[in-house]
Amino acid sequence: MNRVLGCTAGCLATLLAVGPGFAAQGTPENSSRETTTTPAQKPGKLALPHSVTGTVVSVNERAEMFTLKTAKGDTVVLKADADTASQLATLKAGERVKVSYKNSQGDKIATKIVPA
């Protein structure tokens, strides 16, 4: 009797420990490919502002992202927020700009784009 009770308790404990992991996997909500993206959310008010000046290397309006190359040769990939997304249509490769941005969830979110 003790052996059966011990085995049952062990199986139950294993199911309780592993069950939430299976539930979290689920299926992706958007399994089809999206053709457009929404602008990045505005960073929180506590996010520290940064700025970078460089030359526009490329602009991806569909992904609402653009790439700069700084004078030091560093490449910086930035994502446009709701306010700066409309400016991506006017950005051209080779143009020098100064971008104010904030770090948010691993992304650099552009909050202001001005000619340098």
Residue range 4-54, pLDDT digits in tens: 666 676 666 666 666 666 555 554 554 445 555 667 776 666 678 899 999
Please state the pTM of the whole predicted model: 0.61
- Distance separating alpha carbons of residues 60 and 99, to the nearest angstrom: 16
Domain 49-115 has CATH 3.90.1170.50: no
Strand partners, 68: 56, 76
* Cβ proximity of 94 and 55 under 8 Å: yes
What's the longest Cα–Cα distance across the chain?
81
* Cβ proximity of 49 and 56 under 8 Å: no
| Burial degree of 94 (CB within 10 A; 0-12, 13-18, 19+) | exposed
